[in-house]
Amino acid sequence: MVRHYRQHYQKLPANLKLFLMGHALMAFGNSVHGLLFNLFLRESGLKEGVMGSLASTASLGTALMAFPAAFVLERFAAKPLLIAGLVISAVCYISQVLSSTVELYTLFGLLGAMGLAIFNISVAPFIFRHTQPDQRVYAFTMNSAAVMGSQLLGFMVGGQLPDVLRNLFPHLVMVDAYRYAMAVSLGITFLSLWPYSRILRGPVPKLSHKFIGGLKEKDWRLMGKLIAPKVSIALGAGMIIPFMNVYLSKRFDLGSAAIGNAFGILQLCMFSGIFMAPMLVNRMDRLRFMMFTALLSIPFMLTMALASSVALVLGSFFIRGMLMNMSGPVTSLFEMERVKEHECLFASSILIFCYNAAWTFSSQVGGWLIESYGFRSSFVAASFFYILAVGFYWAFFRKARVPVTSAVTIPSQAA
């Protein structure tokens, strides 16, 4: 299997290889921030409701930038926008963790998410346009695998880093150990500037239609069908994902090192699942694969809600994460194949906007549910929304079959 992937990787254009390298470097610093930030907030004395508000702020920032980012990406080369998004997000997130008030956490979190939005929106169209049809499942898979491999390292290192800093500086209090660990790790994301700076710029797209006029020409019926399950998944995930580190810490009294190891094992499971995904997809169509993984994850979510054994909860945590994330690249490709090639950026932006808008709402509600009724209620609610998403996929796409053919692919020098 490794040789199989190596052969596909060697066929990728140089621009895409540089993109994957930069994405992996960014993922390391951001994974440490994601692992430690809620633990940092809890150590600062803040409750789950505030954590939910801050998590929703990050999603709101992405949602606010979705349409402007798509408008800009359609008219300018990707290279300067990738670099700008990287610098803005890294500077803002470093400023966030070095701040000392909830208001500043909110402000810098919002700005950092807006900086990342341009990058996140460009990922699926960038990969789609730089690959041939028979490469795309593997290219999307390799992108997710590169990010998850980097996140695996980030979780392992990030979980240990606060204790390392306290050993080096004995008078450092835990809240500052979290703070400086995140700042140092986020600084590493600037290494992404090297591969991004080497991406060759292609010609700037020339659009004949105006933006507003183009909106009227979109297939909004199709977009609605793609949006409905996406929003349902976001409503479910937003109620549990932002709080998993706090859940493990609060319910089982695990420290940052143990939680970092747990998240590292989770990444390893997801990494393995993503590598298996192309072979599994060959045995069933993409729609059934997406539905199957979502449905199969639900019993494990309910186990996490009801079980009292840390081993059983962690096992369910790993399997649920593997099942849901192994279908991520397939879902991205499924969405891109159903829109016209020149509308990929718009489709990516509207889907990211809707996903993050739903996540903004659900993480806020999830924080309130957990604070008021405990973690069990959020897991049950998430399970309901996952079932709803599967129902939408089945209702809208069970009769639709899209042939895997190429429309227009941008040559390797384009960006």
Q: What is the pLDDT of residues 21-76, one digit of tens each?
A: 999 999 998 999 988 998 899 888 888 788 888 877 877 887 788 777 766 666 66
Mean pLDDT of the chain, nearest integer? 83
- Classify residue 130 as left (phi > 0), alpha (psi -120 to 50) or beta: alpha
Q: Which of 51-55, 247-251, 315-319, 382-386 has the lowest mean pLDDT?
A: 51-55
Please state, in angstroms and rounded to a whole number, the distance separating the CA atoms of residues 26 and 168: 26
Q: How confident is the model at residue 399 (pLDDT cuts 50, 70, 90)?
A: confident
Closest of 401, 404, 392 to residue 291, by C-alpha? 392
Closest of 390, 391, 387 to residue 298, by C-alpha? 387
Q: Is the pLDDT of residue 77 over 80?
A: no
Q: What percent of the chain has pLDDT over 70?
A: 88
**Higher per-residue pLDDT: 99 or 130:** 99
What pLDDT is recorded for position 211? 52
Please state, in angstroms and rounded to a whole number, the distance separating the CA atoms of residues 253 and 264: 18
Q: What domains, with CATH codes, occur in the chain?
A: 13-198+219-397 (1.20.1250.20)
Q: How confident is the model at residue 141 (pLDDT cuts 50, 70, 90)?
A: confident
Q: Is the pLDDT of residue 407 over 60?
A: no
Q: How confident is the model at residue 203 (pLDDT cuts 50, 70, 90)?
A: very low
Closest of 23, 12, 22, 21 to residue 138, by C-alpha? 12
Q: Is the pLDDT of residue 108 over 90?
A: yes
Count of CB atoms situated within 10 Å of the CB of 192: 26
Identify whether the C-beta of residue 322 lies closer than 8 Å to the C-beta of residue 145: no
Q: How confident is the model at residue 359 (pLDDT cuts 50, 70, 90)?
A: confident
Q: How confident is the model at residue 201 (pLDDT cuts 50, 70, 90)?
A: low
Please state, in angstroms and rounded to a whole number, the distance separating the CA atoms of residues 70 and 186: 26
Q: Is the pLDDT of residue 208 over 50?
A: no
